[in-house]
Structure 1
Amino acid sequence: MSNTSGVIPPLKKGDRISPKWIIATVLFFLTILTRLPFHTQFPQGDEGHFAMAVLEFDVSKTQPQMPGMFIIFIWMARFFHLFLDDPTLSLVAVNIVASGVTVAALYLLAKSWYNHQVGLSVALLTLTSPLFWYHSVTAFSHTL
């Protein structure tokens, strides 16, 4: 009998987790751990507008700046704000988690299209890319 309900069956004793998921998880946490020491602590320029928008979203007050189409980014930052109590750090937390998801997803995508070596190369190049690293530790929406 096949499982057609779309629900993934739970792991049973003796089942093995696929190595690709273990590697993707390690890449996810490695990305997060490499970003934490370098995150933005004080908002600069438009980061301040984003930080104010976490507290009060009002485009007429440039919170965030025009065109104000950052509502999902702000909603995710508000979720982190429940635990962090710092609007700038909440925005950075969204980007740090998004960068971890990006690196893990790129590994899985490149592995499925090509092979393990290509997937790992793409993930490690993205993880260490200076531009991607910079955007993942700021309070801007560029990582998303």
Structure 2
Amino acid sequence: MAKLSFSVLIVSLLASVANAQQPTQGAVQGFLDDGICNIPTVSFNNDPSSINYGKLTVECPPSSGAIRTIWLDKCISVAANGQLQWDSRNPGFLKRCSGCSLVKSSFIECLSCGKGFARIVLNTGIVFDKDTGNLQCPRVPKTRRS
């Protein structure tokens, strides 16, 4: 009986360690201020499994008609499940990678691919949170009611 409960304890400890290593929120909507933007389902190169290179078009806020464009570097793709990631040669979620910085308020450069920088060009209105690595829509100031 003691042997069985010890085995259960080991299995539950292994499960908790496995869960702790799961990647943090990586959905594109999570990069764009927790879902206040509408991310259309698109694919490039007739490959629905990923959006390689090209651009990602978002609307923020949804139904506002305010279309923003994010240009993706050759090293960055968007998976079918909507996760912004490095390419298959250098996997990992963008927000978990180090070496990202905002350059001239217009694009993000990150060390990647083993050959220099990966770059994401930002459209006006998309901001980069250097602390979290997230791409975000601009925050709309809340009006005070008197």
Decide: shared fold, TM above 0.5: no
TM-score normalised over the length of structure 1: 0.25
Higher relative contact order (Cα pairs below 8 Å, separated by 6+ residues): 1
- Give the number of the structure whose residues are more often strand, by fraction: 2
Bigger radius of gyration among the two: 2
